[in-house]
Each structure stands twice: as C-alpha cells, then as structure tokens.
Amino acid sequence: MFGNTLTLLAATDALLAATNSSYFRPNSTGIKLQNGFERVYIQPFGNHGIRVRASLSRDPTGNEPSALLDPPLEGPGGNEGLTHDINLPFQGSASLRNGNLIAQVSLGVLSFLRAERNGSNTLLTSEYIDAKALPARYYVQDFRSSSFAARFAFTSTPDEQFYGTGQQACCKDHSVNKKGQVVDLINYNSHVTLPVYMSNKGYLQFFNMPSQGRIEFSPLRTRFETDEATVVDYYFTTAEPGDYDALQEQYTAVTGRQPAPPDFMLGYQQSKLRYYNESQVLNLARRFHDEKVNVSLIVIDFFAWKFQGDWSFDPQFFPDPAGMAATVKRLTGAEMMVSLWPSVEDLSVNYLMLQENGLLATTRDGPGVQDSFKGVYTRLVDSTNPAAREFIFISRREYTTFGSTKQMAAHWANLLRIVRPINVMNFGASVHLFLDGQTISSIPYARSFAQYFIGTQEATGKIYPWLHQQAIEEGLRNLTGVDTKATSCQYMSLTRSTFAGGQRFCSYLWSGDTDSRFDVLLQQITSGVSVTASGISAWTLDIGGFAGLDIDTAEGRELFVRWFGMGVFLPFTRVHGYVANFRFGFVEIRHNIIEPGVVISQGTPFLLMPIPPWSYGEENFIIIKKYIELRYQLVPYVKKLFEMLQKTGKTIMRPLYFDFSHSDPFIAEATGVNNPLIVHQYMFGPRLLVAPVGEPNATMKEVYLPRLPGPLVAQKLTWTHWWSEKEFGAGGKFINISAHLDEIPVFYLGNKEDILQGSF
C-alpha cells in the first residue's frame, strides 16, 4: 500500500511536471532547521516559490517590514506563520517541493533545484561552501540589540548572468547583466537599487529586507549582505531558462501587480523646474491651447508651498488652485500634479503637531535634522509610522485626533480636488547642500544615523520611500473610496524612489536627476530595463535629462528632440528639467525671491527657461508635435501593455534577452558582455523594437534585429521599419537604417493597425 502510494505520487509528479498545466501542490508545509542558536524556516510560497527565513535565538515575529503579500495573489503558502512539518537538526537532510521548485537541505546546506519536464532535477544554486570560505550563512552580532549583520552566499558560475537589482540611473553604468558588479543597497538620488535579480539559469531571488547592504556578483559566489536585520528573509522562484515572463508573473504574484493607470497619464506630461505662479501656469495652458498641442498632465514642481511640510500651495502665488486647475482643464483637457516633499521645516504649519506627536523621523542624537535644502534645515515626516501616514493624508477623523484647523481642511480639500497625482521626493533621510550657503557639506544619501518608527536607517531605511508611497496611496484611496483590490487607478503619484513591490501602488517611478548628455540618454535604457526586470514597469525619466540642457546650442536642442523620440516609447512620456542658459544667471533663495539676470557668485549660472515643446526652434517644434501626436496614436497600445502588466506582470519595457535569448544566441552572448549595441535597444511591449540614437549629428543608426522565435516566424511576422514600411525579414542581423531627427529607429512586428488599436 505504502509502496503503491509512493509510485503513484512519483508518476503524478512526473506527469504534472510534463504537462505543466496543473500545479504540483507543495508536499510539505515547511522545514525547520535548528542549528544551535540559529533557526532557518523554509516554506512553500506562491507558485513554484519558496520563502526562507533565518534568525538567531528567536523566531521571526511576523512583524518585520515586508514587501511580500501574505497570502500571495496566486499559489500556495501565505498566512502560514512559521508552520512546518519537518524538523531538522544540525546537519540534517530533507527536501520539499512546490511546483517545479525543490528546496533541498543536505547535511544542513540548502540548495534549490528545478524539476524538469523529463523528471530530472537541475541544480540552480546552493549555499556557498568551501573549505576555507566564510560559512554560507554568516552573522555578526554586537549584542546591544537583537539585530545582527549578515552575509548570505550562494554558488554561481562565471558564465551566469544576473539581471535586475533596480535602478542605478546615473550616469556611467551601462549594464544589463550585473555579473561582476557590486550593487550598493542604499537609496539616493537616481539610485533605487532593489534586492531582486533574475538569473539566466531560470530563477529569481528576492531578499525581502529593506536593510542597507550590498549584493556582490562575483565569479563563483553571489553574496547578499545586510547591515542590520533581525531576520534574513528571502524568496526564490524558478521557471524554464529564458522564460522571464514566468518569473515576473510568479514574483509579482507575491509582491504585487501594477494597477492600470488612468488614461490621462498615458498622454503627454509637461513638467519643469518650475512654474512659479498661477499666471505662468495659465499662460502655459493657453499656449498649449493656441498651438493646438495635446497635453494630458501639467506639473507644478517644488516650492509651490510656503514652507516645506505645509503640503499646500502658498496662497500668495497660487491664490485659487481649484480655479487654476479648472481653467487648465478647460483650455487643454489636462489634469494637474503637484510636488509634495516629505521634508518639514520648523516654520511649517504642520511642524509642531508632527513634532509633538512623534511623527517626525529622528536621529540617534541631536534634533533630528535630516536635510538642508534651499536655506533651511528640515526633518522628515516619518512615513514608516502608520499615524504619520494617516496624518499626511489627514481625514476628518484625523482632524479630531490632532485638533487641526479648518483652514487646513480647506487646503486639503482644494488640493485633492485638483491634484490627483503627486510627485514625491522621498528617498529618505539625507543631507545635501544646494546653492544656499549652508555650511553642511554635501552628503546626498540617506545618513546612517536616521531613526524611524520601524527601525534604524541601516535596518529599514530602504523601505521609507515605499511606505511614503503607501501613505499617499492609502490617503487617496480613502478619499476616493477606491478599495485596495482595485486593479485600476483614478490617480497616480510620481515617486523618486521605491522598494521591491512598489508596483502594487498607483504610482510610477522616475530615474531622478539625470544629466543632459547623449551618453546618459542611452544609459537610461539600461536603467529602465533593469528596473522593469525587478518587477517595476511603471517607470519613466526626464525627457531631455534633468540638468544642464543648453538650448542655445544646436546640440542641446538636438539632444532634447532625440530624447523626446525615445520618450514616446516609454510607459510614460514626461518632459522635466531645467534648462541652462549661459546668458543669464539667477538666484533663487526661496520660492518667492526670484531674480532673473543676477549672476550668482558660485557654481554655474543658470536661468529657468521655458521648457515646453515650442522652446527649441521652429523646425524642432514641428518634430516634437509629430512625436506628441504619435504618442496619442499609441495610447491604445500602451493601454494594452498596462492591461497585460496588471494581469500577469508582463513587463512593458523589455530588455532584448526577455524575448530573444532562446531564438538568438547572439542576444544571450551580447547581453552577457553588455554589448552597447544590444543593451541600448529594447522592446516596448511585444511588438515594437526601439533603438534610440545616442550621438549628435547622426543620420544613420546601426540596429540589431534579433532573430525571431519559431512561433513568431510561424505567424509570418517580420521586422518592419516604422517609418518607411521596409521589411527586414525574421532578423538575426545588423542593418543600417536612416535615423532622421523626426524618425527614431523603431521596428514593428505584425500589423501596424493592430498595434495602433491595441489589438494583438
């Protein structure tokens, strides 16, 4: 009987793996490995996934900051606490299987294997052991608290490729394959590294830990380091090698799926540092109207407030925000967005209330100052504290709690009526110096002495931005009555930083303050596809680069137009930045002291020039209008991409290895060495190949057309040049294509009408 059952199980097992149509239920609820004071829990989690938690002397509480959805959206596991049916002693051995993933503990060492269709198992990685190596699970404790630092090491091979790890957006990192790199897990401007990566061996690993640290991708060993934690917590999942969509589907099922953006987010977004007052904004809208240029969103950037932390408009410059928004809407149809920073200065109307209620992040010593910007010291609202999250989005109930004033209620009511999306400067505690004469030196990253409600900067700092997104999310959901299960958004926030799983919010990430240079334009592609390979497709950038665009030069104007062409083929098409103009300088101390024409004594003089489409000369304006029009034509396609993203986590901006590493060995090989010709091209959805021009004065562009996979060839799909309709067959070759300023190199697969209608 027993023997029969086993045979039956094995047979079913092989059958299920073979058909892959139904799911192999986990054959264990979990393994607990007790090794002296160390304990390791290994449990099934999501489809083909396993979660591992390791702690010292005590069990995980379950209250550690986490980006895992528990229970997951799909697959087994979840709400299981520390359930396990296998107890292993030191040097014990056991295995558990969930779907096609097997976790095998052999003499206390953990390995992950994939169950193949033919019944064999493939080793993916295991804890790294060697005679003289540090133990694979290595901890450092200082015994003043229950936390520790840890280094977890896993085997790798020199030819393995790793993708993802979030965003390293400026300015020299042109890598898609991270093998050989050290990735610093710390937030700062443009640097949104995420502890999640995919391997070309067919697995994804995610460290569910918002601690600072690093990942080392060395030849034989991949090592994750956390500076401070109470539990080492990671998730592992597998798919067939090259099936990155499956890895994304499984990963987003445990960390969240992007709700679909509202339509107005998919058009042209106009932002600039910055519009100072209502009349500027209204003039802008009028000009869009008169020029008959479509615009869907207009952003009012920072210092529209009186004091940092007011989270409202300065009535002197924006006396009637609701009226302004209504006029903008009437003239252009555009919605409005406003910048809100999480920094609070002591003159802010909210400061005392936040301070008295302990809702500001603090520091290990001193008064809790975390930043210095534009002449004032500021503190951070502690979005890791639920009470602070509520306060940020104060509702009637919170008014009573905090005894707030009617005036504030009015502010918020106004703000919320007009401002659905919010642009958040939220990479966490930092100190930086701008042209403001402060004596603090420039340290533009999160300082280790910051202390949040949920823990220290070292242990939890990387999730600050994510929790700030959550504050905005919860507040807007509460206000609009949209429940948390909604799969589409009525609003979006724009965020400068995030953490793994940030894709669950009605929010999109941009690459922060980039430099206006051709090489940075190309670099943004590798950033973008690395972010999307980390589960976050709602991504964009500053078209034209944030800093240093000189529109007085032909090259500066050309760069802007090239960048604009690329911006059409991104999830969001958003212009932002300030434009250098060397004829003038200006001094800006606070928002209300703006003196165009005054040359500042230090630094590069610059003036905030107009940045909208008509600012780059008549010829370029014609081209930009053409690109804006194309974007509006593509909206149905982009909507379809977001629908697929919502349903299955299918990535929008796609590195070439996603779709072609099976069919085209050159793609796999070129990705391995980060060949610029390959990593600077990408697929925008499954049908469009984009190869932006990244050098001045180009008239031609060398483009690689990947060899199409069999099923696409069977459908008789070919690469067709978007502009000339010239066909190039099934790919597998370089071609030279004309690349006029108004014709960004783009190739499509299938029928163009279908693409434009979003039906494919």
Ligand X SMILES: *[C@@H]1O[C@H](CO)[C@@H](O)[C@H](O)[C@H]1NC(C)=O
614 three-state secondary structure: helix
Distance between first and last Cα of the chain: 52
User: Rg (Cα) of the chain, in Å, rounded?
Assistant: 26
Distance CA 398, CA 380 (A): 19
Closest C-alpha to 334, from 574, 497, 642, 614: 574
| Residue nearer to ligand X on the CB measure, 705 or 717 | 705
Q: Over the range 309-338, which residues count as b (16 or more CB within 10 Å of their CB) and which as e?
A: bbbbbbeebbeebeebbebbeebbebbbbb
72 DSSP 8-state letter: -
| Residue nearer to ligand X on the CB measure, 23 or 138 | 23
Minimum distance between the CB of residue 251 and ligand X, rounded to whole angstroms?
22
Is omega for the bond preceding 71 within 30 degrees of 0, making it cis?
A: yes
| Residue nearer to ligand X on the CB measure, 27 or 181 | 27
| Residue nearer to ligand X on the CB measure, 415 or 594 | 594
Minimum distance between the CB of residue 362 and ligand X, rounded to whole angstroms?
21
CB-based contacts of 302-306 (< 8 A; 24+ apart in sequence): 302/273, 302/274, 302/339, 302/341, 302/425, 303/274, 303/374, 303/590, 303/591, 304/274, 304/275, 304/338, 304/339, 304/591, 305/591
281 three-state secondary structure: helix
Find tokens 């930045």 and name the residue.
577
Handedness of CA 446, 451, 452, 455 (dihedral sign): positive
| Residue nearer to ligand X on the CB measure, 12 or 442 | 12
Minimum distance between the CB of residue 91 and ligand X, rounded to whole angstroms?
17
Distance CA 553, CA 445 (A): 33
Closest C-alpha to 666, from 734, 609, 720: 734
Distance CA 489, CA 275 (A): 27
Minimum distance between the CB of residue 57 and ligand X, rounded to whole angstroms?
27
| Binding-site ranges for ligand X (CB under 6 A) | 13, 27-28, 95-97, 102, 116, 118, 120, 122, 276-277, 279-280, 294, 389-390, 393, 395, 471, 474-475, 478, 594, 628-629, 632, 696-697, 702, 734-736
| Residue nearer to ligand X on the CB measure, 221 or 626 | 626
| Residue nearer to ligand X on the CB measure, 102 or 136 | 102
Minimum distance between the CB of residue 35 and ligand X, rounded to whole angstroms?
20
Find tokens 């840890």 and name the residue.
150
48 DSSP 8-state letter: T
| Residue nearer to ligand X on the CB measure, 277 or 460 | 277
Minimum distance between the CB of residue 518 and ligand X, rounded to whole angstroms?
9
| Residue nearer to ligand X on the CB measure, 97 or 272 | 97
Minimum distance between the CB of residue 317 and ligand X, rounded to whole angstroms?
6
Minimum distance between the CB of residue 628 and ligand X, rounded to whole angstroms?
6
Minimum distance between the CB of residue 568 and ligand X, rounded to whole angstroms?
11
| Residue nearer to ligand X on the CB measure, 96 or 668 | 96
Residues in the chain: 760
Minimum distance between the CB of residue 114 and ligand X, rounded to whole angstroms?
8
